[in-house]
Amino acid sequence: MVSVARLAGVSVSTVSHVINGTRHVEPETHRRVIEAIEKTKYRQDALARAMRRNRTDSIGLIVSDAGEPAFADMVHGVEEEVARLGLTLLLANSAEDPVRESRAVEALLERRVDGLIIARASGSSETVITTLREQGAPFVLMDRLEDLDVDQVAAENAGAANALVDHLVEQGHSRILLVAGDLKVPSLRERTDAFLEAVGRNALAAADQVIVEGPVAVAEAEAAVMEALSREPRPTAVIALSTVLAAGALRACRVLGLAIPRDIAFATFDGFAYSDLFEPHITTVRQPAFQIGVTAMRLLARRLEEPDSSPTVMRLESSIEYGSSTSSRFSNPE
């Protein structure tokens, strides 16, 4: 910068003002400075700049795995809104690991992102929230909501879970296996609670329902579902609460030689990419993942503008794609 100033025969203040357009400078001087910038191949040092401005025009996004379809779409949504606002996105995966999540938060905070969007990891400790608050960092919670007075956005889980159970009951099922996974994850907990409520509302025998709680990875889900489906009387329908759990459960069905829907009905939340192209067509609850991402970024933008506005919690409606996997007519209703 000083060499630019020298070459243009002006002060560094003037160079700074030319670059940032922050005060008027004579056209002629302006031209000389621009020229000098090009000649010296000068690039602004964002670090030094951020240090003075206390802003970086960048925001951080942490999800457990941007490779999972639902998160991938949320990321796309955030990206779209970020681009529209002229900001930069720094993305990090926590791999569902609280330690990596904390590290990512620290790293992003250290890099002075202006705000953070977080889909918290399962065992995520409260210190993450505490850290954020202590630092006074604006943030919004995405997908996995807590009972906290902060900005949050996620899919409306309860209604979809209810509708799914109603659908299965209509198809004549009364013994359902719920592959619930890690109930420390708020979204899974919500879906499970709604499932239980729907079971009661439909007057299904509580003792006939099986809930597989705990598995996180595909292999764990497979093992747990194998076990659950080996007991008598066998459930006649499966609901998996996430893509990973569905993958494990499907693997278990295959190993046990259970055909879908002939031997067992199957439905899932989130589901698989391009699933319309493959058999079986699995009945799937789709959350408006892209829109959730967009909304998260909008909430954050508002928080940045009005730091003292009262927090908003938003729930976006999910929809259900019905497939042959839950059709008792053994045919594809599509």
Partner DNA sequence: CTGAAAGCGCTTACAG
Q: Which residues of the chain form contacts with a second copy (CB under 8 A)?
A: 41, 43-48, 50-51, 58, 65-67, 69, 72-73, 75-76, 79, 83, 88-93, 95, 100, 103-104, 107, 109-112, 134-135, 247, 250-251, 254, 272-275, 277-280
Structure tokens, 129 = 């929230």
Q: Work out what residue 330 binds among DNA, a second copy, none; the CB cut-off runs from 5 to 8 Å by kind.
A: none
Q: Work out what residue 29 binds among DNA, a second copy, none; the CB cut-off runs from 5 to 8 Å by kind.
A: DNA
Q: Work out whether strand 283-286 and strand 319-321 pair parallel, antiparallel, or are unpaired.
A: antiparallel
Residue 186's nearest CA partner among 64, 312, 61 is 64
Structure tokens, 130 = 């505490």
How far is the C-alpha of 97 from the C-alpha of 74, rounded, in Å? 19
Binding test (CB under 7 A) with DNA, winner from 31, 38, 39, 53: 53
Q: Which is nearer to DNA, 4 or 118 (CB)?
A: 4
Structure tokens, 15 = 């160079």
How far is the C-alpha of 124 from the C-alpha of 98, rounded, in Å? 5
User: Residue 56, interface with DNA (CB under 7 A)?
Assistant: no
Structure tokens, 173 = 């099922």
- The secondary element (H helix, E strand) that includes residue 152 is strand 152-155
Q: How far is the CB of 4 from DNA (least distance, A)?
A: 8
Binding test (CB under 7 A) with DNA, winner from 12, 99, 255, 273: 12
Residue 143's nearest CA partner among 203, 247, 63 is 63
Q: Work out what residue 22 binds among a second copy, DNA, none; the CB cut-off runs from 5 to 8 Å by kind.
A: DNA
Positive or negative, the CA dihedral 137, 141, 147, 151 is: positive
User: Residue 49, interface with DNA (CB under 7 A)?
Assistant: yes
Q: Is residue 119 within 8 Å of residue 186, measured between CB atoms?
A: no
Q: How far is the CB of 150 from a second copy (least distance, A)?
A: 20
* Token pair 């030319």: residue: 18
Binding test (CB under 7 A) with DNA, winner from 7, 34, 42, 223: 42
Q: Work out what residue 23 binds among a second copy, DNA, none; the CB cut-off runs from 5 to 8 Å by kind.
A: DNA
Residues at the interface with DNA (CB under 7 A): 1, 9-14, 16-17, 19-20, 22-26, 28-29, 42-45, 48-49, 51-53
